[in-house]
A and B are shown apart, each in its own frame.
Chain A
Amino acid sequence: MNPFVYSRANDAAGAVTAIAAKPHTKFLGGGTNLIDLMKMGVETPAQLVDITRLPLAQVEELPGGKGVRIGALARNSDVAEHAIIRQRYPLLSQALLAGASPQLRNMATVGGNLMQRTRCYYFYDPAFPQCNKRNPGSGCGALKGYNRIHAILGQSDQCIATNPSDMNVALTALEAIVRVQGPKGEREIPIADFHRLPGSTPNVDTNLKEDELITAVDLPANSFATRSHYLKVRDRASYAFAIVSVAAAIEIDAGKKITAVRIALGGVAHKPWRAQKAEQQLVGKTADEKTFRAAAEAELAAAKGYAHNSFKIELAKRSIVRALTTVAGMTS
């Protein structure tokens, strides 16, 4: 582990000032990802600003019934168990509880979960010489390496890593807004624009600027609470990253016609993958398995597999069908 300076911020403004003052500074929240990467020498910040004492851990209703605001430092376990989240956004609660282990969820924060790095053996272990994310220009070790957990959508020849978060997939389906504070004030980033595809700069995971602090995540009001579901397919029953996951929500009318639908996929891309092609195909159609399968086929038409992960393409289609069948079968 590289030597680094540790400091503590007491409020958001102080945190932003601290990060701007010294290059290569990172915020420390739950530390469940950053500390691992620092131990491995993948992340080598010169300074850590501990933000865990900032008053940003509340879950509160937005005025005018506009939705709910979750503080960036709310712990994953607290959010998952919060009564408002369980009632109005069960999809988020399910996704959080599907992730990691109770011990990790007790530590991990909402802001930190948004910021967790993409997962790839070649990125996490500096013993491997090739990784464009760790060492831009060195090549991608996974492309011709062992790539069972890697991306099938939106990847580039520079990087085929995946975003491992469950929470992010649910937030994508819920069209969350990420609130951030920088030296020039506050701004909002829609979740769809928060994470990036790798392109030619896979070293940059998100569109958050280096001197910005995530303060909250807003969940807009919606009417999906009664028909939503988080499906996680993994190799073992618990404590495993998704090989494919699906956050699905649907509204159907009395004639079984789909009036609104949200689908996001996890484990398949460098960012949580909003399945817009599938959504477009579904609106106005009858909710049945044939329709779901056609929509899944459309979404995965552009998918590309590698030596060990091609199975994910069919698995993603089946997962979409299962998730939609589940939400369509729910009684509202």
Chain B
Amino acid sequence: MSAATMGPARNRVDGRLKVTGAAKYAVEFEVPNCAHGWTVESNIAKGKITAIDAKAAQAVPGVLAVLTHLNMPKFKEAPKKEERGISSGIRNEERFPLSDDGVHYAGQYVALVIAETIEQARHAASLVKISYAPEEPLLTMEAAVKKAEKPKTNHDENVQIKKGDAAAALKDASLVKIEQTYITPTETHNPIEMSGTIAHWEDDKKLTLYDATQFVKGVQNVLARSLGLDLENVRIICPFVGGAFGCKGAVWMHILLAAMGAKVAGVPVKLHVSRRNMFVGTGHRTPTRQTLSLAATRDGKLQAIQHVSETLTSPVGQFTESCGSRSTGLMYESPSIRIEETVYPVNVSTPTFMRAPGECPGTYALESAMDELAYALKMDPVALRLANHADNHPTKNIPFSAKHLKEAYQLGAEKFGWSKRNPEPRSMRDGDLLVGWGMATATYPAHKMSAAAKVILRANNTATVQCATHDLGTGAYTAFTQISSEQLGVPFENVTFELGKSDFPFGPVAGGSNSTGTVGTAIHEAAVLMHKALAELAVKDPKSPLSNLKVEDIAMVAEGRIGSVADQTKSDSYADILKRAGRDSIEVQSEQKPPEQSKTLAFQSWGAHFCEVKIDPLLPRVQVTRVVSVMNCGRIVSAKTARSQIMGGVTMGIGMALLEETSYDPATGLPVIRNLADYHVPTNLDVPEIDVSFVGEPDFAFNPIGARGMGEIGITGMAAAVANAVYHATGKRVRDLPITPDKLI
């Protein structure tokens, strides 16, 4: 049982560049005469700036400009809502930076200092004196109750869902019920590469940005709109990204500051966001409070699922985290499903997408509640999930395509040895240590966006493929090289895939696990065009075995060859066709068009995590000792990097379950956790070997590559699997993450 894989497992094509330091990240580009920016941030959460004294800062040698709302040039008006959005780029905050005297959260940029060296800029920034008239901030859900909103949709998907009568079923005395509230804290992405931008104006109408981003075309769009420039005069360059997880998905204020700052200072400006400011200026995952109510028959058939989630956003934010609709809305069969989502605007910095936004906290709550229900029913957790397996999308009532979740449960349970589990809490031991086994379901939607690709095929049998897509460290270079090789029929070693430049044909945001499928489809379409272009040359060539055939009867028949679909003996090689035509190369580009969204099939990836923890009952720090994860993501393009993606998601899920929390000062609303010593991500010692496998088949109903993407699914459900194992080990159900030792004493 393993998902069909595309070709042999490949090492990363950019691996050597990465390990030798030759891979150039955005802020590493050398731009002559580049100055440096350093920001000043607000220390109050709400209020108005009453005075700014920048004299001392301006007097520091090397200082070129001190920008505040008093002298900041105006950006162009915010574009109409329909011009924004996932395909054209998003500005994470409604408000432009330094646009007025208002302060909406602590950590908001209130000044930018530009100087010849970074030390001068940093020192001068410390000398800018800002006076405020503070106002009482709203810092908690309770404080912001009157401002609470219930959005109808999120990215065009309904988020307030009502199917059947959940309220009635939850009152039915004959059913077994549980109702619990689960809390997740603020989590911060913390990719190893911090965000940063070099802004370089070639003249007053032409801007080049070297920017650490998940969306070069989005940054290009937003910057062109905000600065009133022609799209083709804004170039974005980003060949490598050192991790992102969503915090580089949309345009944050430092990018706009760098661009405007460089214009004012008249020199290129590098603005590298400090690790400290990565906790306020590039987003985080909102804290969530989720109440799950489940009702089931005594044999475990769900009759009602109710998922009420509450999250935060900032007063200037654009993002909401949809916990329930993106997990409970599609996970299990039930005659009644009720999903409610409420968002509270508070004076805390702006949240954003973070790996599986919505699905990740949503599956934590749902899969914890399912474990609690399994105990209430005295039923095995895997059996309970099998009893409620959904063949059809529970709220859209269309079948799921190529869903192999049952196989994932079965293989995972087998590999883990689940049948040896004694369900009684505190029943399993390893010497003095408590042992717990937990499991949970993983799920993430297969998103489809639009892209185009350019192919240059040469007579020497090499090819270059270009798309303005991204490699966040995920292995996209390798996966797209593999797809290009397969689709074009050119040997892997002979394909060069180029990405990370806005000059290339459109690539979508590297988010929502869509890139492999979306860009893969564009490569497929470009390959079809290339084979057609070769066929057109061949049929006109009397020396070709394909001479006088119809172009539409010709397709790729083997690596490097097109031929008659009907008569396999008639074929011709790419090299020969080009050489006889006197061509060194041939170039084609696919067309960017809106993706077809199926109305008859639902596309979703699935998986199961099984996890073992060991806990010292006296000093109860949770140690994860084994993880088995089985995923069903359609076709696996790049076997090695696919496995790494799941390992990364599981690792981040372990962090979410046990370690990660951005805590805030209750008085100022400033994060107190603002560095990697205090913000705990898992170390090697916290993560066991992770056993990853894949099941299923290529999902060709979804796209011609058959791949559904896998950047995010690994983290979904993982925190619940750990929390469920902790309950099994200790008999204590911790319902607020992370599960640190204090919660188990």
Chain A residues proximal to chain B, CB less than 8 Å: 1-3, 39, 41, 121-122, 125, 127-129, 141, 144-146, 148, 233-241, 243, 311-312, 314-315, 318-319, 321-322
Contact = CB atoms under 8 A, between A and B. Distances in A.
A254 B741 CA distance: 37
B623 A237 contact: yes
A145 B684 CA distance: 32
Given A121-B672, A233-B621, A319-B619, A145 B667 contact: yes
A42 B699 CA distance: 57
Contacts of A233: 619, 621, 741
A127 B43 contact: yes
Contact of A235 (B276, B668, B680): B680
Given A236-B683, A311-B745, A122 B672 contact: yes
A2 B123 contact: yes
Which of B619, B670, B672, B678 has the largest count of A CB atoms less than 10 A from its CB?
B672
Interface string B276-320: 100000000000000000000000000000000000000000000
| Binding site secondary structure of chain B | loop
Contacts of B123: 1-3
B686 to A, nearest CB: 5
Contacts of B667: 141, 144-145
Contacts of B740: 235
A141 B665 contact: yes
B618 A321 contact: yes
27 contacts: A2-B123, A2-B126, A3-B123, A39-B122, A125-B276, A127-B41, A127-B668, A128-B670, A141-B667, A144-B666, A144-B667, A145-B672, A148-B663, A234-B621, A235-B741, A236-B658, A236-B659, A236-B682, A237-B683, A237-B686, A238-B684, A241-B677, A311-B742, A315-B741, A318-B745, A321-B618, A322-B619
A148 B738 CA distance: 14
Contact of A322 (B43, B618, B623, B658): B618
Contacts of A240: 680
B708 interface: no
| Binding site secondary structure of chain A | loop
A128 B683 contact: no
B674 A125 contact: yes
A321 B623 CA distance: 21
Contact of A121 (B658, B678, B685, B745): B678
Nearest to B617: A318
A240 B676 CA distance: 10
B664 interface: yes
A311 B743 CA distance: 8
Nearest to A239: B683
B273 to A, nearest CB: 15
B453 interface: no
Given A127-B43, A322-B619, A146 B666 contact: yes
A135 to B, nearest CB: 13
Interface residues of B, number: 36
A121 B671 CA distance: 9
A145 B41 CA distance: 21
Interface string B725-745: 000000000000000111001
A148 B662 CA distance: 13
B673 interface: yes
Nearest to A41: B126
B741 A243 contact: yes
B682 A146 contact: no
A321 B672 CA distance: 32
B686 A236 contact: yes
Nearest to B44: A129
B665 A145 contact: yes
Interface in B682-720: 682-686
Interface in B345-366: none
B94 interface: no
A146 B665 contact: yes
Nearest to A149: B678
A244 B665 CA distance: 23
Contacts of B673: 121
B119 interface: yes
B449 interface: no
B670 A318 contact: no
Contacts of B672: 121-122, 125, 145-146
B652 interface: no
The 10 closest A-B pairs by CB, nearest first: A311-B742, A237-B685, A121-B672, A238-B685, A238-B683, A237-B686, A146-B672, A127-B43, A236-B680, A146-B663
A321 B741 CA distance: 17
Contacts of A141: 665, 667
A313 B745 CA distance: 11
Contacts of B680: 235-236, 240
Contacts of B639: none
Given A125-B670, A141-B667, A233-B621, 17 more contacts: A1-B122, A122-B672, A125-B672, A127-B668, A128-B43, A144-B666, A148-B663, A148-B742, A233-B619, A235-B658, A235-B659, A236-B680, A236-B683, A236-B685, A236-B686, A315-B742, A315-B745
